[in-house]
């Protein structure tokens, strides 16, 4: 019985609206629902049951080797000299004193290297000459026998600057009078303004007609801060070059090794296949390792020039100053709704602070426009965004990829809209919720959709209505807020291929080696792949090895991003297993003298009725008897998604993820501190593969979302970061975490492995909106910017008090 | 280079002698001189707790501690937990069982903090509340897990403790 089928049939009937909200749902657990995919009919032994992390023991014993732990014979240590001023001309660079320091082996500046600009806009020189454009700009790099010597040497490099006034506000940069910030930018030719780095324009529906239908139109400006990943391991790379064969080996914590290989090759004017990328254990990614950054080719160049291996490790301060950030942006959002609360249109104008150079982060509007065009049913949408060069550090990609910003503005606007209409905030969301079978204005096709069930679940489980309506008085005031989100859940067809390759080797002893294109950055992909092998082949966990860290060995994959790994690598794994089973079936049928049939794979055996044979015996027979074959297969899975057309329309992901959160906060009106009490999270994950891994993604994402909402902000003054440390940049700690109540929705995606869809970015996307909505519920103050710090809350409460006194 | 000072201490149960510069930090001695890479450099400014080791029963940030101060003391690093026959101690088992490890860069420090606290609690026959456990782990930053599973693991260390 399909739980969602009925909902799809009733797509135009606002059932939820008519029903008293408290009675919306009496279900206790979505785990109880039978998923609707054919793939899930059989009884599963491992999928859906908690599995320990396959690569966990190394990580709890200190034996895992991270980039910081690599030591190669004769290895040098590198330090980068960065600019003293965020905007200046470089008049001269003198490295002679640094070179004279004992222990210094190699120094490079822009004048010593023959390289291409990097970034997808090719607007970023690896080492700068002529001008510097932001605080993190690299001017020179030193390789020395020790890190201390390298650090000392960069202090001895003499750079003469002519300081210029920088531009740190994107609106100022857009003025005709502003100087051109990036000399390689093509804004004038492409977008009619020299300081526009990237722009997007999207439309669907008849905006004017929908405006005319609207009873209420809400227009607000949202201001989103710059925040950063703060991976617990700082950025790192180790490079080794052989002049015998011209091959370069990079031990890199990139999330996208094959794109990275290509980027490094372009930067260094090399053949990509001469570059081998080895990923050591990676100490956190979260999107920060999607772009190749200057320090990486710099380290390679030092190795190539010195003839010795070179390692470059960022200090924590350097990590804050010179690693990627989430985009700071200003979103002007106008939305409409009809008298009965149906959404009519959205009009969005976004200015993103691109910083001095362009990273993949400038393409976050791809994701943001999906939220505006397709989260809830929306007849008309116009989306315009411009990423504007400034002398601030350039932004990168960060878990959620623009979606936390977009969702914050949208979900805040919905609350304001509901108040204007005099509607219930839960009802208005349910009335407009997406449904199974919907094809949105942008062309996203929701073949499975847990949007309304996720909303209903958090409304019920959190006792939303009771808490929202509770009286708000006294020093400590509680409030509750809702927010939902939409994100890609089946990869995203952005690059020419969104696929993943898998090679399986079943050896003579019954051990399985999974060689996967996908990457492990801590999220648990190795574990999920092993679970699939255990499920399908009946091989015990201790006999499974995963190889996933070497581009010379592993098949191609686009990388770990867009919450795609379980979906794409999982399907690739299932495809490879199918081929492996064909081989095994053929041989086992011969050996057992049965017609080729569906064997049952269990406990290292293949079984058909009463006949059975050990799987390793089948492999040996395959290997040692004519026609002599190995039990190895290759499979490449390309998701059945579409490229978007020039108007950005198309079904870009094979599946879509939906989630809702209801978050309860307590505001201390004396101090302004917002304390998050409980978070109710419901998410359409398609199918739970590893509950403990999934829950970890939910809790971790939520923590990042709460930080975004309340505490995290990179504070810049005139282009300089003022809080480049954990003392000034506040991450949550153990005592800040709320109670987390997670309710997965198993919508059973037809394309997903066992019905699963991408899950890992979603939990942080609606969090800030839900918290700001909860704060508004608690104290009646509307915040349209983040973070909602204690200081801002106190000021707002004072303002409110004044207003009350005046009236 | 001439003013090296010899220090003697017990490291992971073994008498150890090292000659160190007076300004050498404990984390650098462990990682660079003694090649014990399990202690992680997360910030080197005493904020993140990734480099936590145990000295005479107390969890300390090894990036904030001079190596010479370890003289005469008992130092335990992540490599000192478990044994050849039983490579995982209870804390490590609980971390895995409860899914408290994702990227793992903070895990060594987290484990040493839980270990030091639970050893003290058990020695005094106490079982801490969940709030006390949270407080004990406040100095260990983690960007992956959202802490919930770490706290679960810390709590589970007392499962067999009579209450």
Calculate the average pLDDT of chain B.
96
Kindly list the domain boundaries of chain B, sorted by start residue. Answer: 5-80, 90-156
The pLDDT of A128-143, averaged and rounded, is 97
For the ranges A785-794, A797-806, B55-64, B148-157, the lowest mean pLDDT is seen at A797-806
Consecutive H or E run containing A485: strand A476-488
CATH architecture group of domain A499-637: 2-Layer Sandwich (3.30)
Kindly list the domain boundaries of chain A, sorted by start residue. Answer: 5-43+326-492+645-806, 67-165+234-282+289-322, 499-637
Question: What pLDDT does residue B2 have?
Answer: 60
Q: Are strands A88-94 and A131-132 parallel, antiparallel or unpaired?
A: antiparallel
On the question of pLDDT at A6 being above 50, the answer is no
Q: Does A727 touch chain B (CB under 8 A)?
A: yes
Q: Could you read off the pLDDT of A24-58 as tens digits, one per residue?
A: 333 233 333 334 444 445 689 999 999 999 999 99
User: What sign does the dihedral B77-B82-B87-B91 (CA atoms) show?
Assistant: negative
Chain B residues with beta carbon closer than 8 angstroms to that of A731: 141, 143
The pLDDT of A438-446, averaged and rounded, is 98
Q: For residue A596, name the pLDDT band (cuts at 50, 70, 90).
A: confident
Q: State how far the Cα of A244 lies from the Cα of A131, in Å rounded to an integer.
A: 37
Q: Compare all CA atoms of chain A with the CA of B87 and give the residue at the minimum distance.
A: A61
Question: What pLDDT does residue A27 have?
Answer: 29
User: Taking a C-beta distance cutoff of 8 angstroms, is the pair A289, A253 a contact?
Assistant: yes
Nearest-CB residue to B141 (from A229, A282, A733): A733
On the question of pLDDT at A22 being above 70, the answer is no
Question: What pLDDT does residue A105 have?
Answer: 98
Question: What pLDDT does residue A184 have?
Answer: 98
- Bridge partner list, A608: A611
Give, rounded to a whole angstrom, the gap between the first and last alpha carbons of chain B.
Answer: 54
User: Taking a C-beta distance cutoff of 8 angstroms, is the pair A279, A525 a contact?
Assistant: no
CATH architecture group of domain A5-43+326-492+645-806: 2-Layer Sandwich (3.30)
Interface predicted TM-score of the whole assembly (ipTM), two decimals: 0.97
pLDDT cut 90: percent of chain A above it: 93
CATH architecture group of domain A67-165+234-282+289-322: Alpha-Beta Complex (3.90)
Q: State how far the Cα of A269 lies from the Cα of A264, in Å rounded to an integer.
A: 8
The pLDDT of A678-698, averaged and rounded, is 98
- Closest-CA residue to A258 (of A20, A7, A499): A499
Q: For residue A334, name the pLDDT band (cuts at 50, 70, 90).
A: very high
On the question of pLDDT at B115 being above 80, the answer is yes
Question: What pLDDT does residue A806 have?
Answer: 58
Q: Does A231 touch chain B (CB under 8 A)?
A: yes
Cβ neighbours, 10 Å, residue B104 = 30
User: Taking a C-beta distance cutoff of 8 angstroms, is the pair A482, A426 a contact?
Assistant: yes
- Closest-CA residue to A53 (of A792, A583, A757, A546): A546
Q: Take residue A69 and report the two structure tokens written for it.
A: 């732990």
The pLDDT of A365-369, averaged and rounded, is 96
Q: Does A341 touch chain B (CB under 8 A)?
A: no
Q: For the domain with range B5-80, which CATH number is right: 3.10.20.30, 1.10.287.130, 3.50.50.60, 1.10.260.40? A: 3.10.20.30
Nearest-CB residue to A61 (from B31, B35, B87): B87
The pLDDT of A331-347, averaged and rounded, is 98
* Cis before A204 (ω within 30): no
The pLDDT of A607-631, averaged and rounded, is 97
Question: What pLDDT does residue A711 have?
Answer: 98
On the question of pLDDT at B142 being above 50, the answer is yes
The residue among A58, A232, A531, A701 with the most chain B CBs within 10 A of its CB, best to mutate, is A232
Q: Could you read off the pLDDT of A54-70 as tens digits, one per residue?
A: 999 999 999 999 999 99
What's the gap between Cα A478 and its chain centre?
31
Task: Give the B window 96-155 contacts with A, CB below 8 Å.
Answer: 96-99, 101-108, 111, 133-135, 137-151
Q: Compare all CA atoms of chain B with the CA of A315 and give the residue at the minimum distance.
A: B43
Q: Could you read off the pLDDT of A64-100 as tens digits, one per residue?
A: 999 999 999 999 999 999 999 999 999 999 999 999 9
CATH code for B90-156? 1.10.150.120
Please state, in angstroms and as integers, the Cα–Cα distance from residue A108 to each residue in A111, A363, A454, A486, following that order.
8, 32, 55, 46
**Between A558 and A20, the higher pLDDT residue:** A558
Q: Could you read off the pLDDT of A144-199 as tens digits, one per residue?
A: 999 999 999 999 999 999 999 999 999 999 999 999 999 999 999 999 999 999 99
The pLDDT of A202-223, averaged and rounded, is 98
- Closest-CA residue to A401 (of A360, A355, A438): A360
Show the CA angle centred on residue A518, arms to residues A653 and A405, nearest 5°.
45
On the question of pLDDT at A245 being above 50, the answer is yes
Q: Could you read off the pLDDT of A773-804 as tens digits, one per residue?
A: 999 999 999 999 999 999 999 999 999 888 76
Q: Residue B80: phi, psi to the nearest 5?
A: -85, -5
The residue among A61, A70, A147, A706 with the most chain B CBs within 10 A of its CB, best to mutate, is A61
Q: Compare all CA atoms of chain B with the CA of A319 and give the residue at the minimum distance.
A: B43
Q: State how far the Cα of A306 lies from the Cα of A511, in Å rounded to an integer.
A: 43
Question: What pLDDT does residue A398 have?
Answer: 97
In the sheet with A131-132, reading across from the earlier edge strand, the strands are A131-132, A88-94, A158-163
On the question of pLDDT at A208 being above 90, the answer is yes
Q: Does B87 touch chain A (CB under 8 A)?
A: yes
On the question of pLDDT at B163 being above 90, the answer is no
Calculate the average pLDDT of chain A.
94
On the question of pLDDT at A685 being above 50, the answer is yes
Question: What pLDDT does residue B24 have?
Answer: 97
Show the CA angle centred on residue A781, arms to residues A780 and A782, nearest 5°.
120
Write the CB contacts of A84 (distance below 8 Å, at least 6 apart in sequence): A159, A161
Question: What pLDDT does residue B147 have?
Answer: 98
On the question of pLDDT at A655 being above 50, the answer is yes
**Are A67-165+234-282+289-322 and A499-637 the same fold in CATH?**
no
Q: Where are the alpha helices (DSSP H) in A603-690?
A: 615-624
Burial group, residue A212, by CB count within 10 angstroms (0-12, 13-18, 19+): exposed
């Amino acid at each position: 019985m399909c739980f969602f089928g009925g909902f799809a049939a009733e797509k135009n009937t606002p059932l939820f609206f008519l029903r008293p909200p408290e009675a919306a749902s009496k279900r206790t657990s979505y785990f109880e629902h039978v998923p609707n995919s054919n793939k899930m009919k059989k009884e599963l032994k491992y999928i859906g049951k908690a599995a320990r992390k396959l690569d966990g023991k190394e990580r709890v014993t200190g034996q895992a080797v991270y980039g910081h732990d690599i030591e190669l014979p004769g290895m040098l240590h590198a330090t980068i000299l960065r600019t003293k001023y965020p905007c200046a001309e470089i008049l001269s660079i003198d490295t002679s004193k640094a070179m004279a320091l004992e222990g210094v082996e190699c120094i490079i500046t822009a004048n010593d290297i023959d390289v291409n600009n990097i970034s997808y806009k090719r607007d970023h020189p690896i080492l700068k000459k002529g001008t510097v454009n932001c605080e993190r700009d690299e001017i020179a790099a030193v390789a020395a026998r020790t890190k201390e010597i390298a650090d000392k040497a960069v202090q001895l490099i003499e750079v003469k600057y002519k300081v210029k006034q920088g531009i740190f506000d994107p609106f100022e940069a857009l003025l005709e009078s502003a100087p051109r910030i990036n000399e390689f930018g093509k804004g004038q030719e492409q977008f009619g303004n020299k300081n526009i780095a990237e722009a997007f324009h999207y439309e669907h529906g008849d905006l004017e007609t929908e405006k005319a239908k609207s009873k209420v139109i809400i227009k607000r400006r949202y201001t989103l801060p710059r925040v950063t990943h703060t991976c617990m391991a700082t950025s790192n790379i180790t490079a080794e070059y052989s002049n015998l064969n011209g091959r370069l080996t990079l031990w890199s914590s990139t999330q996208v090794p094959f794109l990275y290989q290509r980027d490094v090759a372009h930067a260094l004017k090399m053949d990509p296949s001469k570059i081998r990328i080895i990923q050591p254990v990676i100490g956190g990614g979260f999107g920060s390792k999607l772009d190749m950054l200057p320090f990486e080719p710099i380290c390679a160049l030092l190795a190539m020039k010195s003839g010795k291996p070179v390692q470059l490790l960022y200090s924590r301060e350097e990590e804050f100053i010179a690693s990627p950030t989430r985009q700071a942006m200003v979103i002007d959002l106008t939305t409409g709704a009809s008298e009965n609360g149906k959404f009519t249109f959205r009009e969005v104008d976004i200015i993103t602070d691109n910083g001095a150079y362009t990273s993949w982060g400038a393409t976050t509007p791809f994701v943001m426009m999906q939220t505006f065009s397709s989260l809830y049913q929306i007849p008309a949408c116009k989306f315009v965004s411009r990423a504007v060069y400034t002398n601030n550090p350039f932004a990168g990609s960060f878990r959620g990829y623009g979606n936390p910003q977009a969702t914050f503005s949208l979900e805040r606007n919905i609350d304001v809209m509901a108040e204007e209409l005099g509607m219930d905030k839960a009802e208005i969301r349910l009335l407009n919720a997406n449904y199974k079978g919907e094809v949105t204005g942008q062309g996203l096709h929701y073949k499975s959709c847990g949007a309304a069930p996720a909303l209903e679940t958090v409304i019920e489980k959190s006792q939303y209505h009771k808490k929202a309506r509770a009286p708000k008085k006294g020093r400590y005031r509680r409030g509750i807020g809702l927010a939902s989100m939409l994100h890609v859940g089946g990869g995203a067809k952005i690059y020419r291929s969104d696929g993943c390759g898998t090679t399986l080797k079943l050896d003579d002893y019954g051990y399985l080696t999974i060689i996967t294109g996908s990457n492990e950055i801590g999220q648990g992909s190795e574990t999920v792949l092993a679970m699939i092998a255990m499920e399908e082949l009946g091989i015990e966990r201790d006999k499974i090895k995963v190889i996933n860290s070497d581009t010379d060995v592993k098949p191609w994959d686009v990388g770990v991003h867009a919450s795609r790994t379980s979906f794409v690598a999982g399907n690739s794994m299932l495809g490879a297993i199918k081929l492996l089973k064909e081989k095994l079936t053929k041989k086992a049928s011969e050996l057992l003298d049965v017609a080729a049939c569906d064997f049952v794979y269990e406990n290292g055996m293949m079984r058909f009725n009463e006949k059975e044979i050990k799987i390793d015996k089948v492999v040996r027979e395959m290997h040692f008897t004519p026609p002599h074959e190995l039990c190895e297969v290759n499979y490449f899975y390309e998701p059945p998604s579409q490229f978007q057309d020039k108007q950005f329309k198309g079904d870009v992901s094979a599946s879509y993820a939906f989630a809702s959160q209801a978050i309860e906060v307590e505001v201390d009106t004396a101090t302004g501190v917002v304390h998050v009490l409980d978070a109710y999270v419901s998410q359409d994950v398609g199918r739970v593969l590893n509950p403990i891994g999934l829950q970890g993604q939910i809790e971790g994402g939520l923590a990042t979302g709460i930080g975004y909402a309340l505490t995290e902000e990179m504070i810049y003054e005139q282009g300089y970061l003022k809080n480049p440390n954990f003392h000034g940049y506040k991450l949550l700690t153990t005592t800040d975490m709320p109670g987390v109540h997670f309710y997965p929705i198993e919508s059973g995606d037809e394309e997903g492995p066992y019905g699963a869809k991408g899950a890992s970015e979603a939990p942080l996307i609606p969090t800030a909106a839900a918290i700001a909505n909860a704060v508004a519920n608690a104290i009646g103050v509307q915040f349209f910017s983040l973070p909602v710090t204690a200081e801002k809350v106190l000021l707002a409460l004072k303002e409110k008090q004044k207003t009350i006194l005046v009236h | 280079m001439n003013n090296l000072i010899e220090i003697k201490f017990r490291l992971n149960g073994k008498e150890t002698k090292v000659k160190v510069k007076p300004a050498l930090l404990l984390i650098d001695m462990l990682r660079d001189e003694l090649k014990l890479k399990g202690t992680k450099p997360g910030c080197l400014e005493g904020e993140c707790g990734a480099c936590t080791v145990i000295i005479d029963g107390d969890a300390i940030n090894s990036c904030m501690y001079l190596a010479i101060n370890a003289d005469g003391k008992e130092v335990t690093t992540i490599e000192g937990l478990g044994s050849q026959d039983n490579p995982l101690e209870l804390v490590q088992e609980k971390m895995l069982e409860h899914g408290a490890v994702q990227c793992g860069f903070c895990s060594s420090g987290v484990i040493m903090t839980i270990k030091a606290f639970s050893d003290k609690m058990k020695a005094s026959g106490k079982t801490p509340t969940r709030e006390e456990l949270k407080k004990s782990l406040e100095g260990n930053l983690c960007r992956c897990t959202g802490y919930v599973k770490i706290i679960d693991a810390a709590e589970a260390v007392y499962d067999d403790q009579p209450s």
